[in-house]
Each structure stands twice: as structure tokens, then as C-alpha cells.
Structure 1
């Protein structure tokens, strides 16, 4: 299990979170304190010397005023924890405390090993969750599931691994699972003040769903210092405009994850190849993002390291009636992506728009390891009012493609006011041999691209030597 937390000195007032604090800073709540151990007895008093055996019983005994449940180390087999319409509850796990769902039947629809419904001021800290699996297309197993409405949710220092949906139906998007999921399902009251910090999520079988997701009416949240690796779909996702909230509110700001921070996370090996949901027309879709904003708004993505995933970071909107806007992507490092390092905009002409996107200070290097001619940086459909500046973009393929912008579609306003400048491009071929595509047309060399696009007038290209040479970029 991962034990070291990487501190990041960043403060984001809107998210009211300061990175650099220890992830184990969860505090016991007031009210009753009860103790649980796999060696305890449910007829015991629940003291440290005479613990209970069942975590759910301890939560229920806290009463309406809440309190703290301490879980001793050991395995709690075939047990779930459901916190429903409660407040001021903390579940604090000692090292080695494992909630093991092996042998449990996963019901239809979404369900969590730890499930927090319409509750506020809830903490879950230090717990290992595993084994919750199904082969049913109707069941959606989740490690920790927060749903309904509420505020003050703290999920810190947990380890969620080896669970998911094992159905093998090729091409079916009906198989789903999550590691951590926050679904704001109320059209009137959001889930707010959510902190997801210092967790590890790995070896999850997710079908068409995501490792860590915020979906629907989730307003004011942070996802920080998590380690996410070796999962077969998206690592971190902030979603809007799905059917999480239906009716007149669906395509409004109520139904989108917003005012969020994604910072200091380490995301690696997020790959959809082999995931049955992504079998398309006789081949695998290499389309799992390390970090994805799909319909979210007013989000900062900063200081993350994304490596060896299908797509490093993507900012898009999958619903034509939706949008992704007011997103800042800054000071991230994206390396060894199989398809592309950064993608912005709808992936076809039936998607929504992406605008007011700021991309600055990032390092993209050695992406498109599939070596299929895809670029380090991809601008798709309906991208407008967007700036991409002061980034370092280094390709390592023999025929490097540094940038690709699709041919514009839709009205002119859906493609206008895109600015690229002050970027440093580099690759393993001499200047003039690298490739850029602008509005779908190939341009060979920076000068040709600048002339054709009017972009990147103060950007430079640096020859980095052969693909097998040192990663140090040297000016030609």
C-alpha cells in the first residue's frame, strides 16, 4: 500500500483547502465514541477494551448526534457501512483495517461498500476497501459512494483496490463500477465542501465508468494528492449534464461538478485496452483519460503528474447541449500517453463546446507511444475563447506531430478566439521537419505553421536529438 504523501504547496481559496497538510489530519467528531474489532462482540459495550464486531452496528448506535467509530486492524468480511440521513459521523480506521466485500451480492444500480446518503459532516479515513465485485450489467459496485445532497464530506487516506464489474460483454456501456463516486442527485441542494485527499485507487475493473468521479450537483470540492493507477478506465473525472439530474434542470449549472480543484495527484497506467466496454469495430479504443473534465465548470487542474495512460488530460463536453468552461490547466506534467497528452473539445461534431480554457506552464513529453501519428496536443471540435501559452511540448516519435487542430465545425463563434503563444516545442528531428496541423491541414516546420495559422508567433522549436538520446532538450 502506498504510504508516502507528496506535499504540494498550493492554496486555493475557493476550495478552502491547503495542500501540504498531512492526509491523516482527520479529526474525531464530538458525541459518542465507539470501538470495533473483527475480534469483538456485538453484545459488548463498544469501548476500547470491549469493542463491537460490526461496523454498521457501531454507526447505528451513535445516535442522531453522531460521533466517532474507530475500526481496529483486521478484516471485516462481507460487511458494508451505510450512513443515511446522518450528520457528524467519523469512521476512522487503524492500519490494516479492511472492509472486504468478497461474497456479497451486489444489488441492481449503484451501491457502495461505504455508502453516504443525504448526510453532512462525514469523515472516512484510513480504510482499505476491496473485493466488491459483480458480473451483472445491472449492478454498479463502488468502493466509497456519496449520493443525494449534503456538505462537509472528507474521504482521506483510504485504499480502494481490486473491485469492479467483471461482465465481459464486448462493446456494452451497461457495465459500470467506481472506486470513489460522488453523485449530487438533488436539483435543489448540492453536495458541497467535499475533500478527497491522499487516497490510493488501483486495479479496478470499471467498464464504462471512472475510478474517481464527481457527477451532477456537486459544488465546491477538491481532489488532491491521490495516487491512482492500473485501472481500465478514466482516473479522475468531473462530469456535467448526464442523467444524474433529469427534467428541466438537466442542462443547467445545477447538474454539473463545479468550483473544484484537482491538484497534486499521481495518475498512471489508466488504459482501456482490454476493457470490454471499449471494444469498437474489431479493435480497442485507446480512450481512457488520466484526468478528464466532461461538462464540469470553474475547475483548476494543477500540479498533477499523469503518466502512461491513453490520454493524459482532456477537457471536453460529451453532450451537445452541454459545455465545459472556466477550466485552468496549469503546471502539470504529462508523459508517455499512448494516444495524446492533452485534448480539448468535443471528439466529434455531435458533442458540446469547450471554452474559457487556460492551458499554461505544463510539460507534455513523449506522448503518443502508440506511434500512430497522433499529436502531443489535440484541439478537437468547438474549442473557442481559449489560451494555450508558456507550455513545453516535446515529441519523441521519429515523425513527431506536436499539435493537431481539427477543421472547424459549426458557427464561427464556436471556433473563434483561440490563442497559442510563448510555447516551447521540441522533437528528435531538425527544425523544419516536425509536423503541426491547423484546421486539419498539415504544416511542416514551425515557420510554415505560424504562417498558415497566425499562431505561436513568439514560440520556438528546439531540436532534441534522436529519439534514443538523453531527454535533455538542447537548442539547435
Structure 2
């Protein structure tokens, strides 16, 4: 092997290169694996556009693999069976994979990207992954022994978790997955984000957060936990051989699922627990939209508790908009409840399909809080139906009385801007009865926004559904970013506003929309009296209102 001087940080690979080269911009290497093997600590391997026929293993810690230009390089694994994954990360830390297209891995247990073992600070972002198939035959029989995965994370170390994992802004599509998933986080993973991804046209589950499968040999650590699933879009994730969720939480713990879009999947989202004697615990589902899904918007609970599955506990489904689901006519409507304990379903909009079915609940749900929702079906209140613990109820009043739930809910047209199963707009109209119809005691988390990235409470009381009417957008228009900055952020005592344009009065709000401070300082603002947390600062620039996030340490 040749010896190279690695004084520089950036190195390069191009299909026109040569592995005898220096790896510089003007003298790039030829193959990605060779380039990775030469990188020093904290090295960056920039890959020129082109198609590279190889499979990759990350050899060391502290490596970045990324695209060189806007045109993504393609790693094509066609005909290569040496390892299951196109790109494998085993027991590594401080690794970033960015802007790479991976395609054509066709074999049983095929994987696009595999992250396995333990490690910290692992990021996969802005990648495209497609045509990952368990078989070359699109009509091949499917059973539990055939699998393929787009991005799969296995936390397999008994004591040391995978931490600070980020899967961001990737597109994953056109994969035949068998009994597996598009993106999955499984086993001993503690602290992760799956955000901004677009998963679509898959033959099974879109995004799956998993526990209790024996992935980690220590049962106490064998569940993905303390994670965030946010701003993803999942659509057309449909299996002919089972019901597949756009998003599925199976055995996870302390997971927040927010601001996602899930449509034309089997379930919009499923929260379950497949393993007998185990629990899925502390799942927060908020500010999402679920529409035009095959079976229902939400399926929640152990499907065969106690003899055939575990159970779901201490979970909530709040401020979601569920529109015209159950297009297959399964009889589940918007909600399918199997067995859960101490769950909350409130502040949602449930706008049924023309079948007028609200929910199907197989069993009694101990500790269920089901209230402050906005129900609607176009045929009218008398046509709404529910099957609840073996009893059928026809009509909204009969449902409230018979199920002993929803005493503070309403039946009314929520007046969405466009109530369509094909191209909906979930903004509430001015006259919407969903405004201020949520639980008056609900206080949103500091980091919580509505589906449209607006303040979650406007006017003192939360709305039903994913949209908060009349709230201001949290973020500066892109055209203004170059003219405006706040620093330091996070801050302890003062923030400085640096703007090319004069700023008018400012106001600072907490996550509940409560105004805490206001003033007209032009540059430096004293925030020392605020408690540590996330806040929103609203101000005027050129007669326009803007809101930005600030963090107080």
C-alpha cells in the first residue's frame, strides 16, 4: 500500500480517478472503499458524481462520507453479494453519511445502510435509497424468513447503547421489503432522531421503532428509547400479506412522534407490542395528519393481549387530524383500539369517510382518557357509528353515553380548508368550531408546535386538530435570513439582535403562547430572568411579524 501525507482534511474519489493517486481534488482516488481506508481521523471523503459498483464498510471512527456536488454519487450493488448491506457501520462512532444514492441490492436480507453494535454520533442525511429487494422476482412468495431493509439500526451491545443517532432528510422508495421495514431502529438504542425523511412506495412498514426482539442480549436494554420521529412523510407503504403502518412503534419507550404526514398506508400509525409479557411505554403522538389510510388512522394496543402479545401503556394521541381513513371498508374507521392502559386520546379531529365509522375497540381500555375531540361525518351526527368492547352504538349521542367517553367533545364540521382524501389542506377556517375546543388544562411542551410549525396555543386555549388557528409561523422567511441573526443562541443572560433592517417592538412567549416579556430594545435583550428552556421571540421587520426560537440555558 502506498503511504500518503494526510495533512489535509478533505479527500476525493472520482470514477475517473486512480487508487495510486494522492486523493487530492486534482488527483482523486477511484473507489470509495479504498478512499475510506486511507482517511485519517476526522477525514472527509468527497465523492464525485458517477456510479460506483461496490459495497462499503466504514473502517474507522471519525469519518465523513459525502457527495462532492449537488448531483449525488450512486453506489450500485447490482450483482454484489459479499455482504448484506450496501453500506455498513459496525461499532463505530462519529460517522456521517451524507448525500449518497444507494441502489440495486437484491438478495434475501438485503440492506441499504446497516448500523450495528454500539457507537455514538452517527448521522445519515440527505441520502436516496431505492430498489432494495429481498428477491429479483416481484411475485416471489413472502413469509417471515424473507426480508429487506432500507436503513436498519441494530443496537446489539448488551451494555453500551447506540446514542445520538440521526437519520435526517433521506428519501427511501421502491423497495420490496418482505416482513421488514423501510427505516428501522431496533434494540439497544438510547437517544435518536428520525426526522424529515420521505418514505414511500414500499411493500411493508415505512418507519419502525422496535424493542423486545432479542436484538440486544440484555432484555433490560433491548428497546429503542428516548427518541424523536418528526417531520417525516410516509405514503403508499402497503403490504398485500399484512397490515403495514406508515409509522410503527413496537416495543419502544419514551418516543415522541410529531408533525408527520402519513397517508395511503395500511395504518397511518400503529402503536403496538408484539412480544408477550412486554410493554410499549410513554409514546406521545401529537400534531400529525393521517388521511386516506387503508384500515385506520391510529391502531393502538397489544393485538392479542395477554396470551398472544404485550400491551401499550402510558401513551397519548393528541392534536392530530384524522381525515377519511379506512378506505378499504375494514370497519375500523379512524381508530382501532386493541389493549392499552392509561392512554389519552384528546384534542383531535376525527373526520370520517362516507362509511361514518369512528372506531373499533376490541376490549375495555383501563384508564383511558378519551375526551375533548371534534368528531364529524358528512351524513350527520345520527349516522356516526362505533363498535366498542362488543357493543355497537349508532349516533353520536349513543356513542358518548354507551362508551362513557367524550363528554366534553363536539360533533361539528371542523371546517378544514380542504377536506379531501387526495389533496387536503388541514388549516382551520375562521369559523371552525375546532378553535379553542381542546382540553383547557392542556399545556404544550416547550418544544411543541402545531403541524404547520406555529405556536401550539393561540388565544389561551388549544384548538382541536393539528393546526392552531391564527398562530404565527415559527421561523424567518428564507429571503430574510441573510439580513437577520440572533446570538448567542443558546444564551444565558443576553441575546443580541443583528439586523440590517430596523426592528420594532419584540415579544417573548413560552411554548404555551403566554407572553412573558416585551420591549423595544434595538439590539441587546436581557433574558436572565427566564427559566431554562425553549422560548419564541416575535418582532416586527418592515411591517411583517416574524417568530424565531431562542433557548435559555
- TM-score tier by shorter-chain length is 0.7 to 0.9
Tell me the TM-score normalised to structure 1 length: 0.83
Q: 2:101 aligns with which of 117, 120, 128?
A: 128
Q: 2:56 aligns with which of 78, 81, 85?
A: 81
Tell me the secondary structure at the aligned position of residue 316 of structure 2.
Answer: strand
- Bigger CA radius of gyration: 2
- What's the offset of the Cα at 1:462? 2.3
Tell me, in whole angstroms, the C-alpha distance in 1 between the residues paired with 2:168 and 2:199: 12
| Matched ranges for 1:54-453 at <5 A | 54-63=31-40, 65-77=41-53, 79-84=54-59, 86-94=60-68, 95-105=71-81, 107=83, 111-134=84-107, 139-166=108-135, 170-246=141-217, 249-250=218-219, 252=220, 254-273=221-240, 278=241, 285=242, 287-349=243-305, 350-381=308-339, 383-397=340-354, 399-408=355-364, 415-453=365-403
Tell me, in whole angstroms, the C-alpha distance in 2 between the residues paired with 1:31 and 1:327: 45
- What's the offset of the Cα at 1:451? 1.2
Q: Does 1:36 align with 2:36?
A: no
Tell me, in whole angstroms, the C-alpha distance in 1 between the residues paired with 2:204 and 2:110: 15
The question of whether the paired residues in 2 share the 8 Å contact of 1:373 and 1:400 is answered with no
Q: For the structure 1 residues 193 and 171, does the alpha-carbon distance in structure 2 shift closer, same or farther, using more than 3 Å as the test?
A: same
- What's the offset of the Cα at 1:169? 5.1
Q: 2:411 aligns with which of 461, 464, 468?
A: 461
The question of whether the paired residues in 2 share the 8 Å contact of 1:438 and 1:453 is answered with yes
Tell me the secondary structure at the aligned position of residue 315 of structure 2.
Answer: strand
Tell me, in whole angstroms, the C-alpha distance in 2 between the residues paired with 1:120 and 1:372: 46
- What's the offset of the Cα at 1:468? 9.0
Tell me the secondary structure at the aligned position of residue 103 of structure 1.
Answer: coil
- What's the offset of the Cα at 1:243? 2.1
Counting matched residue pairs gives 413
Cα shift readout 1:97-129 (whole Å, capped 9, x = no counterpart): 00000111254xxx3111000000000000000
Tell me, in whole angstroms, the C-alpha distance in 1 between the residues paired with 2:396 and 2:212: 39
Tell me, in whole angstroms, the C-alpha distance in 1 between the residues paired with 2:196 and 2:43: 27
- In the alignment, what sits opposite 1:26? none
Tell me the TM-score normalised to structure 2 length: 0.72
The question of whether the paired residues in 1 share the 8 Å contact of 2:331 and 2:360 is answered with no
Which ranges of 4 or more aligned residues in structure 1 deviate by more than 6 Å? 467-475
Tell me, in whole angstroms, the C-alpha distance in 1 between the residues paired with 2:253 and 2:330: 32
Tell me, in whole angstroms, the C-alpha distance in 2 between the residues paired with 1:30 and 1:151: 26
- In the alignment, what sits opposite 1:15? none
Q: For the structure 1 residues 434 and 115, does the alpha-carbon distance in structure 2 shift closer, same or farther, using more than 3 Å as the test?
A: same
Tell me, in whole angstroms, the C-alpha distance in 2 between the residues paired with 1:170 and 1:56: 35
User: What 5-or-longer segments of structure 1 have no aligned partner?
Assistant: 1-28, 279-284, 409-414
- What's the offset of the Cα at 1:407? 2.4
- What's the offset of the Cα at 1:404? 1.5
Tell me, in whole angstroms, the C-alpha distance in 1 between the residues paired with 2:207 and 2:132: 17
Tell me, in whole angstroms, the C-alpha distance in 1 between the residues paired with 2:420 and 2:161: 51
* Cα RMSD for the two superposed structures: 2.2
Structure with more relative contact order (C-alpha pairs < 8 Å, separation 6 or more): 1
- What's the offset of the Cα at 1:66? 4.1
